[in-house]
Amino acid sequence: MKAIVLTPKTLFRLNQFSISDEWFNHFGLPEHENNIKRVVVGNIVYFLERELESDDCPVIVINLGAEGVFSDAPSRAATLERIITTARSIYTDSVSIPTSWRKHHEGSFLSIQATPRNYGWRARLHFNIRPRGSKDLFAFSRLDDTVAFSNLDLHLDIYDAAKADLAQAVLTAHEPTPMESRAGITLSQRLPQGFIQGATLDQWYTSKLTVEQRQFVDKPHDGPVRLRGSAGTGKTLSLVIKFLRDAIAAESDHRPMKFGFLTHSFASVDLVNSIGESLDTTGLFYASGKNVKLEVRTLYDLAHKHLNFELDQLIPLSLDGREGRRLQSELIETVLRELANSNIAGAQFQDVSPDIKQRWSAAASGGDKRLIAEVMNEFASVLDAEGVRSGEEKGERYAKGTAPRPAWLMQLHTEADRRFVLEIHRRYRKHLGEMNTLSVDQMIGDFNSFLDSNRWDRIRSRDGYDVLFVDELHLFTSVERQILHKLIKRNVEEDGRPKRPAIFMAYDLKQSPRDTFATYGDGDQNLFSASTGLQGSELVKLERIFRYTPQIAEFLADLDATFPAIDIPGEWDAYSGKAELESGSVPDLTVFPDEVSLFSTVFNDAHKVARSIHGGGRRVAVLCAGDDQFDTYLIAASGQFPGKYLPITSREPSSELRHAGKRFIFSMPEYVAGLQFDTVFLIHVDASEATLDAGDGIRRRFISNIYLGSSRAEKTLRISACMSRGGKSDILDMALDRKSLIETAPPPGKKRRL
Ligand SMILES: Nc1ncnc2c1ncn2[C@@H]1O[C@H](COP(=O)(O)OP(=O)(O)OP(=O)(O)O)[C@@H](O)[C@H]1O
C-alpha cells in the first residue's frame, strides 16, 4: 500500500476501536462497523463516511511508501495515536499538541516526536498542514533524526495520487473487508478507559442516570454547581452528559454559546472526548455547530495558548509526569547539598528546628528522602501555587508566619524553618531559570495575572466561555480555582448586577495525592474562598457506586476511617457509598519478604491475568505506591518482562491504552486517576511510606494514594507490601480487623535479581 486516506470523522472514529499491530498489514475494518466505508483504489486505502457524496471535504493522507510513517513496526500504533491527536488539534478545539511532543512549526510544516519516549525520542513525524494550498493534512514522513525542514523530501507525488483517486473512492460502494484482512481491529463495547458503550445519550438521560445525577444534569446555567461523590459514583459521566445535552439544546435553539470543559490532565481530556464521541449522534463533538462551540482542554493548554510560550521558546516543565517530578526531586536534592556544603548557609540556618536539621543532612547525604518529598509538596501546594517568593511581600508574610496555614501541611514551626524553605525555593527557581524552563505552577501564576489584565478584559467577551465544566477539581490548586470564574464571559442581569458564573465542577478531595486543595494565606480555609468567586455554590452529592463491587466498597470505607481529620469545613465527609455492582471476591493482601519476590510474583501474576482476561491486558493494572520502587521496577521490567506490560509514567498518554493488546498496565495511582480496570495489583503499601509518627500530611497523602489506586479496580483488588520496607502499612489494620481485606501467604519464591 502507498497511502491511507481518511476524513477527520473516520480518523477520530478509529479511537472507538481497539487496534493492534496486525491491523497495519491490511488496514481492515471490523465486521459490524456501519458508519465507515473502506475502499481500495490502486494502492491506496480510503476510509470515508458512508454518506459522503462529494470529494471537496478535507482529508488526512498518511504516507506508507518511502520514509513511510508506519515504518517502525513496534511503535506504529503509538504513532497512529499521535496522528489522531494532531488532526484533532487542527480540525477541532478539543485538544492541543502536548508540549512534551516537542512540536516544531514553520509555515505549513509541522513536526513532532514520532513516539512516546519509551520507544526512543529521536524519531520525528512530519506533517504538511496545507499541502498544495488545500485544507488537508498530509503525514508525509517519519525520520529517525531531526532534519531541517528545507531538506525534507515532501513526497507530494503520494499526496497527488491520493487526491486524484478520491472522487473515484467516493463513488465506489463499500466492499466488506475480506475475513483475512480484518485482523487487529475490533469494535469493543468497552472504551479503553472503562466506559461501556451502547446506550445513547437519551437512554442514559431517561433511564440510566440516578435521581441525583439527573438533578445535576438538569441544573440551569444561573450559578456555580458542585458535584461531589466518592470514586466511581459517575461524576465524570454526569459532567459529560450535561455538557453534551446542554450544547445540543443550545444548538437547536440557535443560541450562540461557547462551552468549555477543563480537566487536569491530557488523559482526562482523552476520556471526555471518547465518552462524548461515543454518546454524540449530532457530530457536535467532531466540529463546532452553527451556534455552539465546544472546547475540551487542560488548564495548561489554555494557559499556554494565551501566553504564547511557543513564541518565547520557553518550555514549561511538566511536574505531572514521573520524569518531571524526578528532575524536580534531583534539583531540590542538589540545593540541599549546596546549602549543607556552604559555610554561610550553615551559619544562616543554624537555628532551624532540630528535626528539619537532621532530615536536611540525611537528604543531603543521599539517605532519607522524606524532606525532599515534603518540600516538593510545599512548593506545589503553597509557594509556586500562590506565587510566594523570597524577598517579596508575600515571602515576608510567609516567613513571619502571619498568613494562616492549614495544620496538616508540612510542619514549619519557626521563622528560621520557613526562611530555610524559601531559600531552597529561591535556589531551585534559579536552577530552573538556567535550564530556560519554568514550572507549570509558575506558568499558571502568569496566566492568573494575564486574566487580570486589561488585554483579557478587552477580549473576554469574545474568548471567554458562557459555561464551564471542570472535572477533578480536587487536583486544582487554589490559584487554579481562582482562575475559573475569570474564564467566563462577563454577563449582567437585567438590573445591572453581574451574573453568577455558570461553572459545573466535580470533585472528591480524598483522591488528591498532593495537598493542592490547601488554601493558604486567606483567612478563609474554605475550598471556595471569596477569591474564587465561587462561594455559595449549590451542591449535588452522589452516593451510588457504579464502578466496583460491594467488597471493594467495604474495603474503601474501612480505609477511609483511617484518614486524619482535615480542617476544611463541610468538605471532609465520611465515605458513603452504596455499590450497585454484583458481589466479587474480598480484596487480599500479601506481604512478601523482599522487593525481588514481590516484583517477580506480581508481574508474573499480572501477565497471566492479562493474557486470559476478556478485553485484553488494558483491563489489568499494576499500580505502585512508592516513587523509588516505581523507578527501579521500570528498569527491571524492561529487561525481565519485555513486551508484556505498558508503562504509563505521566498523566498524558493514556490513549495508548487502546493498543495495549495483551500487555498489562504498569503505573502509579495518580497517573491513572479517572480510569478503571478489571483487576488492580496495588504494590508497596509499605509501613515505611508513612510511619505512625510521620505527621498528618504525609499520612493523608499516602492514604489518598492508596484510596485512589484501590478505587480503580472494578472486580479484583490485590494489595501487597514487603518486609524489607517495614511490612504492611498500619493504614490497612482496620480493614484487616474487619475482614474487608484478607491476608494470604506469599508463594514460595524463586530467586531472581532486580
Ligand atoms: N447511572 C449509572 N448507571 C450505570 N453505570 C454508571 C452510572 N453512572 C456511572 N456509571 C459508570 O460508573 C463508572 C464510573 O463513572 P465515572 O468514571 O464517571 O465516576 P467518577 O465519579 O468520575 O469516578 P472517579 O472519581 O474515580 O474518577 C463508569 O464506568 C460509568 O460508566
Are 125 and 141 in a shared domain? yes
Q: Would you say residue 56 lies in a domain?
A: yes
Q: Residue 109: pLDDT band by 50, 70, 90 thresholds?
A: very high
Are 282 and 387 in a shared domain? no
| Neighbour tally for 230: CB within 10 Å | 25
Model confidence at 315: pLDDT above 70:
no
Q: How far is the CA of 680 from the centre of ligand 1 (A)?
A: 17
CA distance linking residue 366 with residue 343, whole number of Å: 20
Are 176 and 68 in a shared domain? yes
Total domains in the fold of the chain? 4
C-alpha cell at position 261: 470543559
pLDDT given for residue 288 in this prediction: 67
Question: Does ligand 1 come within 6 angstroms of the Cβ of 237?
Answer: yes
Helices 370-378 and 415-434 sit at what angle, rounded to 10 degrees?
80
Atom 12 (ligand 1): residue with closest C-alpha? 546
CA distance linking residue 392 with residue 390, whole number of Å: 6
Considering only 5-14, 136-145, 226-235, 491-500, which range has the smallest mean pLDDT? 491-500
Are 170 and 256 in a shared domain? no
223 DSSP assignment: S
The alpha-carbon radius of gyration of the chain (Å, integer) is 26
Q: Would you say residue 721 lies in a domain?
A: yes
CA distance linking residue 589 with residue 32, whole number of Å: 42
Q: Would you say residue 301 lies in a domain?
A: yes
The closest-lying atom of ligand 1 relative to the alpha carbon of residue 194 is: 29
Q: Would you say residue 213 lies in a domain?
A: yes
State the CATH number of the domain containing residue 500. 3.40.50.300
C-alpha cell at position 450: 494575564
683-715: pLDDT as tens digits: 999 998 888 877 778 888 899 999 999 999 999
Q: How far is the CA of 239 from the centre of ligand 1 (A)?
A: 10
Query: How confident is the model over 430-453, as a mean pLDDT?
Result: 83
Question: Does ligand 1 come within 6 angstroms of the Cβ of 36?
Answer: no
Domain-ending residue, one of 515, 545, 575: 545
Query: How confident is the model over 357-385, as a mean pLDDT?
Result: 84
Q: Would you say residue 313 lies in a domain?
A: no
> Is residue 229 part of an annotated ligand binding site?
yes
The closest-lying atom of ligand 1 relative to the alpha carbon of residue 213 is: 1
Are 302 and 379 in a shared domain? no
pLDDT given for residue 584 in this prediction: 94
Q: Residue 521: pLDDT band by 50, 70, 90 thresholds?
A: low
> Is residue 510 part of an annotated ligand binding site?
no
Write the Ramachandran bin of 704: left for phi over 0, alpha for psi from -120 to 50, otherwise beta: alpha
Are 38 and 128 in a shared domain? yes
236 versus 578: the higher-pLDDT residue is 236
Cα three-residue angle 535-536-540, rounded to 5 degrees: 120
CA distance linking residue 199 with residue 215, whole number of Å: 20
Backbone angles phi, psi at 187, to 5 degrees: -95, 100
Backbone angles phi, psi at 716, to 5 degrees: -125, 130
pLDDT given for residue 741 in this prediction: 97
**Domain housing 399:** 318-347+356-438
pLDDT given for residue 195 in this prediction: 80
Are 492 and 624 in a shared domain? no
0.95 exceeded by pTM: no
Using DSSP's 3-state secondary structure scheme, residue 453 falls into: coil
Query: How confident is the model over 93-98, as a mean pLDDT?
Result: 75
Task: Give start and end residues of each alpha helix (H) in 365-477.
Answer: 370-378, 384-386, 393-400, 415-434, 440-451, 454-463
Query: How confident is the model over 636-641, as a mean pLDDT?
Result: 91
pLDDT given for residue 75 in this prediction: 83
Model confidence at 241: pLDDT above 60:
yes
Are 42 and 100 in a shared domain? yes
Model confidence at 345: pLDDT above 80:
yes
177-208: pLDDT as tens digits: 777 777 777 767 777 677 887 788 999 999 99
Atom 27 (ligand 1): residue with closest C-alpha? 674
Are 365 and 297 in a shared domain? no
Q: Which of 677, 668, 679 is nearest to 633 (CA)?
A: 668
> Is residue 230 part of an annotated ligand binding site?
yes
| Neighbour tally for 254: CB within 10 Å | 10
Atom 6 (ligand 1): residue with closest C-alpha? 546
Are 176 and 217 in a shared domain? no
Query: How confident is the model over 93-111, as a mean pLDDT?
Result: 83
Q: Which of 94, 96, 77, 76 is nearest to 86 (CA)?
A: 96
Q: Would you say residue 466 lies in a domain?
A: yes
Question: Does ligand 1 come within 6 angstroms of the Cβ of 235?
Answer: yes
Residue 64 · residue 31 · CB < 8 Å: no
Q: Would you say residue 568 lies in a domain?
A: yes
Domain-ending residue, one of 545, 579, 614: 545
Query: How confident is the model over 341-351, as a mean pLDDT?
Result: 87
pLDDT given for residue 523 in this prediction: 58
188 versus 428: the higher-pLDDT residue is 428
DSSP β-ladder status, 620-624 and 677-683: parallel
C-alpha cell at position 492: 449582567
C-alpha cell at position 171: 463513488
26-54: pLDDT as tens digits: 888 887 777 889 999 999 999 998 888 88
Are 215 and 361 in a shared domain? no
Q: Which helix (H) or strand (E) holds 61?
A: strand 60-63
Are 660 and 707 in a shared domain? yes
Q: Would you say residue 70 lies in a domain?
A: yes
Residue 241 · residue 204 · CB < 8 Å: yes
- End-to-end Cα spacing for the chain: 44
* Average confidence score pLDDT of the chain: 86
Bridge partners (DSSP) listed for residue 647: 666
pLDDT given for residue 316 in this prediction: 65
Domain-ending residue, one of 386, 414, 438: 438
Query: How confident is the model over 307-316, as a mean pLDDT?
Result: 66
